Structure formats: C-alpha cells, structure tokens
Amino acid sequence: MSTYETYSHDVLVIGSGGAGLRAAIEASAAGVSVGMVCRSLLGKAHTVMAEGGVAASLGNVDDRDNWKVHFADTMRGGQYLNNWRMVELFTKEAPDRVRELEAWGAVFDRTADGRILQRNFGGHKYPRLAHVGDRTGLEMIRTLQDHGIHQGIDIYQEYTIVSLLKDGDRIAGAIAYDREKGLFKIFHSKAVIIATGGMGKIYKISSNSWDCTGGGISIAYHAGAELIDMEFVQFHPTGMVWPPSVRGLLITEGVRGEGGVLRNSNGKRFMFDDIPENYKNQTSNNEEEGWRYTQGDKNAKRPPELLTRDHVARCIRREIKEGRGSPHGGVFLDIAWIKEKISNAPEHIKKKLPSMYHQFKELANVDITKESMEVGPTTHYIMGGIRVDADTQMTTVPGLFAAGECAAGLHGANRLGGNSLSDLLVFGKRAGESAAQYAKANQKGKLSEKQIEELSKEALDPFSREANADKENPFQIQSDLQEMMQDLVGIVRTEKELIEALNRLEELKRRAAKVACGGNRGYNPGWHTAIELKHMLTVAEAIAMSALERKESRGGHFRDDFPDKSEELGSVNLSISKGEKMKLQRIPKQKLRDDLQQIVEENK
C-alpha cells in the first residue's frame, strides 16, 4: 500500500454541490459505503448561487403542463443536439425529484391552494420553475446537506482531487490533498462519481464561484473519458456590469419572469426587433400581451425577453456594439416600471427578488424598485462536458460516472434556465444508483504505487521552481488565460480568433510548466492555483478546438463567419478525447425515437 493515508469506499463522490450530494445520498441508500469529497466547505458549492428555480412539469400553476411539453421545450432550447434519452428521463423524473425535496424539508413558495408555486422562465412554455424567491439554489443545497449528513456518508471537507487513479482501463480511485495541511491522501474505491460542476472561471467575466475551474472535466479527460459538446458555453444575458469588481455577477432570469423588461439607451424594448423563426408561434409581438403573460394570463404569449438565453445574450451584445448601450457598457433591465401596473410594486419586488434587491443596493448603490439595472452577458454554464450513458451516467471509462454540469448531453446546444437544478437531482440520483450497483458487482481495482508517486511529484513541482529565475506567478497565468478566453473564445467567435486562441494556449501551457509557488503546503492558494492551471488549460483547449470545428451557429455557439445553421453539423456532436494530443471526432446523432419525434411535432 501507499505511504499516504488511504481511505477506502465502495463509491467515491467528487463534488458536493447538488449533483454530488444527491448522488451520495442515493448511493448510500443502496447500502454501499460512500465517501464524498468537497473542495470547499460543505454547503458552499456553486449550487448556492442558483437563483431562479428548478424546472419540473408539476403542473401546479398551469395544468396543461406535463413531461411531454417540457421534453419539447428542452429539445427546442437545445437545438435538437440533446441526447434525447436523457431529456426523456429528465422530464419524466424531475417532478418526483422536486417533491422528494419537500419530503426532506425544503420550503418552496406556495400557490394559493398551498401547493408548490411555479414561475415563468425563458424557453419554458408554461410556468414551470419551483422556487424560493430568488435563492432556490441555497434552499436546494441546504435541504440536501441537512438530509445528507444523516445518511452515513463520510464527508471530506476542503480536499482537492489531483488526479483519478486507474487500474488498466477501469477506475481505481483518486489522489487528493487536504487543504489544511497539504498532505496527499489516497481514495481507493470501486466506483467514482464526478460531480464537480462547471468551468466559468476560465473566463474573465463570469457568474461562477472560484472553484468552477472545470477540474472534474479535466481529470476525467486525463483518465481517458470522452468529452462532448464542449463548444457550447452558455453566456447568461444578464450579469452585472458595474462596478467593475462585481462584473459578471448573476442577475436572475426571474427578474424578466416577474415582468422585467430590457431596454436600450433610446428606451426601446429591442427584444421585439428579432424573434427567431422557431419561436414566432409562442412569442408575443406586443408589450401589453407580454405583461399579461408574466402575470399568469394563460391565453397570452410570452414576451421576447423570455426567449432562450443564447438569443437574448446576442441581442444585448448587438445593442451594445451598435452604440445603444448603457453608460457602463450594458443595456437596461427594468423591473421598477411595474409600478405602473401594480399598486404595491416595491414590496412585491422585494418579496419576489430579495437577493437582487439586496445585491444591487449593497454592491452598486442601485435601488431596483426605483431604477433600472445595467446588465450585460456573463459566462454562466457549459452544456458540454463528460460524455455519459443516458440511463446509468457511466462515462466511457468503466467505473467512472458523472452527473450535473460536468456531464453532458441533456442540454444540447443551449440550456433552458431552471433545467440545471433538476438535472442535478435527476442525474445525481441516477449516478448514485448506478455507481452503487457497479460497486456491488465489481471488486476494487489495484492501486499503482508508481502512478501515485509520479502524480504526487508532479503536484509538488511548483515548490521546487520557487528559486528559478524564469518562474511564473500562478495567478498571473490564470488571469492571462481568463482574459484570452474572454477576448477570443467568447460569445461571438471567428476562425481567425479561435486559431489565435489555440496558439496562445500553447504559449500559456509552456508558461504553466514554469509556474512556481512559495510558502509551505498548508492552505496555500498559490499552490492550489498552480495545480489547477493544468485543468483550466485543458478545458479551455477543448472548448476552443470544438468551437473551431463547428463551422455554424447554433445555441450557445455563435460564429460570426458562419452565422447560419448547417444541416451537416446539426447532425453531429463533437467529441474530444485524449491521445498524443487532444483528439476531436464527429459523432453522428442518434435518430429521435418515433414517439418522441411526434411529441416534438405536436408542440411546435
């Protein structure tokens, strides 16, 4: 056995946000021993920042809603690149997963008859998002946390996974270090679930927490797992733009769901100017009808502010670029105007959007019940990630599973708001179940002493470079990477810039090889960042490479040099895997099952 302290579990869950917690709870319920590694403290994962709600066709507010409508909405939103089997499972199971949270203590906002209230959101035909004001993510993670701590799960807080460990083709565990002391620890397990979330922090302007560095996606890739759809990054249309230090901070789509409107510097509601063909049937072309929709009029069509995020983000960018932006380079999002419509508007806004009120008041000195907010696009989510089997969530590496944002397939080319929170629940549960089954059917793999020694040595290298004259500062490289991705692989892309990005990534990799850190190993952010750079660079490269290959515009991926959809590319997903160099392949899309095709047609 290794010289490092070794923990043994049937199932190891990496990540403790919504997906990780839900997976750990399920695996533990199946009767296997479960360890869960949290990169931060328990309950602090990026899930806490989710605001608007969790999408599930409960039909509490509009009984015309059901899984089929949710299915059609999700496929349309994803521009039909979604893994349809995942969408089917997801839309069928989401309502049960939400109701289950209530049984575990979650306290969602209520309808007049005492059931779970649901709100409107972009791309969802009916009010579908169960919510708690604008802090739904906090409610969800706290519910899972407070339930999870009583389920016999071993929880390792503030541990960072350095790499997965393999025995031949299959997974054998992981090597980590604990932040407090900086000591290496070995996890020996039969199955591993990756639930590490997204990668927003490889961009300069992002709504994500610091630990959204794509680490889980990268360790899976380096362990041989395939990635797909990496070109599809979601830029949320409404991030804060002022003051600079909070640039990118999220403003929930719930603001628009509650009647908030987007205006340019001429005071015009510019979203009416460009309504995509496939949403024309469902979108209102007058302001009055749009308002009635947000207030629950079942016969009204949705206002164009509630079109999908990819589209709204691009319209905002167009306004800014063509000189109709706000003073600090955004556009105006106005919820205060509803005082023309309802008498107690300020109280209503504070009740429905308490965090938004608080956030603007504290950080920008703006009272959103009186003034407009300035907003602009911010990196929010990655639709792509680790390729998984729809039913079991197993990756292409035996024994390795993935769930949540780091896994891919459900959202296709663009995710609908609210679908991520139910994604965590549905596929977190499925991953936990499957991993437990796998653990019951298989023995532990062997750990390789040599592999562990190499990995730990590599992780410690930055300390040995501290005295080098050409040493690099990890924070500087990280910031250069963020700047580069923002400029060259952002919301609008071109071939020239993507090639430039790939060249710059090579340069950054060369610099990262010289990264150094001082001090000792205990709680050392410099060292942590130095190790993390490899993951950030890997994920950045996968995004840039896939974006270059997809010579069309679809969902979250927009190419200025190929502004239209291509039928050929619309029939494939792009996959990334590790070879000598990073390898890219086209995978033909599976034909949609006939009954599901019919659902899509019926809901057009």
Partner 1 sequence: MKVTFQIWRSDSNGGQLKDYQTEITEGMVVLDAVHQIQAEHANDLAVRWNCKAGKCGSCSAEINGRPRLMCMTRMDQVPVDKPVTIHPMKAFPIIKDLVTDVSVNYRVKKRIKKFKPRKPDAADGTWRMAQSDIDRVQEFRKCIECFLCQDVCHVLREHDLHEKFAGPRHMVYTAALEMHPLDVEDRTEDLKKQEGIGFCNITKCCTTVCPEKITITDNAIIPLKERVADRFYDPLFRFFRLFTKKN
Check binding of 66 to partner 1 (CB under 8 A). no
Residues 24 and 20: their CA atoms lie apart, in Å, by 6
Contact at 8 Å (CB) between 527 and 463? Answer: yes
Q: How far apart are CA 446 and CA 460, in angstroms?
A: 24
Cα–Cα distance for residue pair 293/300, rounded to 1 Å: 5
Q: Which is nearer to partner 1, 156 or 558 (CB)?
A: 156
Burial 250-286 (b: 16+ CB within 10 A, else e): bbbbbbbbbbbbbbbeeeebbbbeebeeebeebbbee
User: What length does the chain have?
Assistant: 604
Supply the minimum distance, in Å, between the C-beta of residue 7 and partner 1: 17
- Residue 244 interacting with partner 1 (CB under 8 A): yes
Q: Residue 473 pairs with which residues in a beta bridge?
A: none
Residue with tokens 């999220």: 250
Choose between 255 and 501: whose C-beta lies nearer to partner 1.
255
Q: Which is nearer to partner 1, 300 or 363 (CB)?
A: 363
Among the residue ranges 245-253, 272-280, 305-313, 494-502, the one whose residues contact partner 1 (CB under 8 A): 245-253
Q: Is 256 a catalytic residue?
A: yes
* C-beta closer to partner 1: residue 116 or 315: 116
Closest CA to 527 of 465, 454, 477, 474: 474
Amino acid symbol at 99: R
- The CB-of-343 to partner 1 minimum distance in angstroms stands at 19
Stretch near partner 1 under the rule CB under 8 A, chosen from 239-247, 295-303, 395-403, 582-590:
239-247
DSSP state of 290: H
Q: Which of 42, 300, 460, 596 binds partner 1 (CB under 8 A)?
A: 42
Q: Cβ distance 189 to 360 under 8 Å? A: no
Could you confirm whether 179 is annotated as catalytic?
Answer: no
- Lay out the site mask for partner 1 across 492-531 (x = CB under 8 A, - = otherwise): -------------------------xxxx-xxxxxx-x--
Residue 476 or 590 with smaller CB distance to partner 1: 476
Place of tokens 């990668």: 199
Question: Do the beta carbons of residue 225 and residue 395 sit within 8 Å?
Answer: yes
| Closer to partner 1 by Cβ: residue 241 or 502 | 241
One residue of 80, 210, 272, 337 binding partner 1 per CB under 8 A: 210
User: Is residue 48 at the binding interface for partner 1, with CB under 8 A as the rule?
Assistant: yes
Distance of closest approach, residue 52 Cβ to partner 1, in angstroms = 14
**Closest distance to partner 1 from the beta carbon of 110 (Å):** 4
199 touches partner 1 by CB under 8 A: no
Is residue 276 part of the contact set for partner 1 (CB under 8 A)? no
At closest approach, how far in Å is the CB of 374 from partner 1? Answer: 12
Q: How far is the CB of 208 from partner 1 (least distance, A)?
A: 9
Element containing residue 141 per DSSP (H, E): helix 136-148
Regarding 476 and contact with partner 1 (CB under 8 A), the answer is yes
Place of tokens 């309502």: 95
Find the binding residues for partner 1 in span 146-175 (CB under 8 A): 146-147, 149-150, 157
Q: Which residues pair with 235 in a beta bridge?
A: 379
Q: How many residues bind partner 1 (CB under 8 A)?
A: 68
In the complex, least distance from residue 106 CB atom to partner 1, rounded to whole angstroms: 9
Minimal distance in Å, beta carbon 40 to partner 1?
5
Of the candidates 256, 314, 550, 557, the residue annotated as catalytic is 256
Give the span between the Cα atoms of 540 and 559, in whole angstroms: 17
Residue type, 204: K
Cβ closest to partner 1, residue 54 vs residue 435:
54
Show contacts with partner 1 in window 340-379 (CB under 8 A).
Answer: 354-355, 358-359, 362-364
Q: Which helix (H) or strand (E) holds 310?
A: helix 309-321
Who contacts 328 (Cβ-Cβ below 8 Å, separation ≥6)?
241, 242, 374
| β-strand pairing of 227-228 with 233-240 | unpaired
Cα–Cα dist 421/17, whole Å: 10
* CB closer to partner 1 out of 142 and 586: 142
Residue type, 429: K
Question: Min. distance of Cβ 114 from partner 1 in angstroms?
Answer: 3
The b-or-e profile of 78-113 (16+ CB within 10 A means b, else e) is bbbbbbbbbbbbbbbbbbebbebbeeeebebbeeee
Task: Pick the closer one to partner 1 by CB: 14 or 410.
Answer: 14
Q: Which two tokens stand for residue 177?
A: 């270090």
The window from 96-104, 252-260, 313-321, 389-397 that contacts partner 1 (CB under 8 A) reads: 96-104
Residue closer to partner 1, measured from CB, 101 or 569: 101
The correct pick among 31, 152, 243, 276 for binding partner 1 (CB under 8 A) is 243
The yes or no reply on residue 211 touching partner 1 (CB under 8 A) is: yes
Segment contacting partner 1 (CB under 8 A): 205-213, 225-233, 284-292, 439-447?
205-213
Using CB under 8 A as the binding rule, the residues of this chain from 106 to 145 that contact partner 1 are 107, 109-110, 113-117, 132-133, 135, 137-139, 142
Given 236, 247, 430, 504, the catalytic residue = 236
Q: For residue 352, what are the CA distances in angstroms to 133, 292, 371?
A: 5, 17, 17
Instruction: For 399-457, give the DSSP string.
Output: TEEE-GGGEESSSTTSPPTTHHHHHHHHHHHHHHHHHHHHHHHSPPPPPPHHHHHHHHH
Question: Hey, which residues does 387 pair with through a beta bridge?
Answer: 408
Least CB distance to partner 1 at residue 473 (A) = 7
Report yes or no: 50 and 134 within 8 Å, Cβ to Cβ: no
Active site residues: 236, 256
Give contact residues for partner 1 (rule: CB under 8 A): 40-46, 48-49, 99, 102-105, 107, 109-110, 113-117, 132-133, 135, 137-139, 142, 146-147, 149-150, 157, 180, 209-211, 242-246, 249-250, 354-355, 358-359, 362-364, 473-476, 479, 517-520, 522-527, 529
